[in-house]
């Protein structure tokens, strides 16, 4: 599993198709034959990572949007980013 910290940079992987339906974001990784439905937090991470972005910037957006503590938002973001990187939806660079 990749080490994701606040300085890590993420962005969308190539060839991932996404659609938003109500409060859920649907990610289709056709090459891997996988579909992932993400909740609002996952959708926010997906939206923000359209361009290269640091994990700390994503965490700050989660804190602002959902009024949670920074450390709680960091853990949630790291967990979600791990899932999306493992699925091939996001790419990670240091």
Structure tokens that stand for 32 in this block: 């891997």
The per-residue pLDDT of the chain, averaged, comes to 93
Q: How many domains are there within the chain?
A: 1
Is residue 1 over pLDDT 60?
no
Residue 80, domain member (yes or no): yes
DSSP 38-74: E-HHHHHHHHHTTS-EEHHHHHHHHHHHH---HHHHH
Structural domain including 78 reads 14-87
- What pTM was estimated for this model as a whole? 0.90
Cα-atom radius of gyration of the chain, to the nearest Å? 12
Residue 43, domain member (yes or no): yes
Residues 6+ apart with CB under 8 A from 83: 36
Model confidence pLDDT, tens digit, residues 53-90: 999 999 999 999 999 999 999 999 999 999 999 999 99
- CATH code at 64? 1.10.10
Is residue 18 over pLDDT 90?
yes
Residue 37, domain member (yes or no): yes
Residue 66, domain member (yes or no): yes
The residues that bridge with 25 in the sheet, in sequence order, are 20, 38
Residue 21, domain member (yes or no): yes
């Amino acid at each position: 599993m990749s080490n994701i910290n606040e300085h890590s940079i993420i962005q969308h992987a190539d060839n991932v198709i996404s659609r938003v339906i109500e409060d859920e974001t649907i990610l289709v990784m056709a090459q891997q034959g996988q579909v992932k439905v993400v909740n609002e937090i996952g959708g926010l991470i997906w939206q923000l990572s359209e361009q290269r972005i640091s994990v700390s910037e994503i965490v700050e957006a989660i804190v602002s949007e959902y009024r949670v503590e920074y450390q709680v938002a960091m853990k949630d973001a790291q967990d979600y980013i791990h899932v999306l990187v493992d699925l091939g939806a996001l790419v990670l660079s240091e």
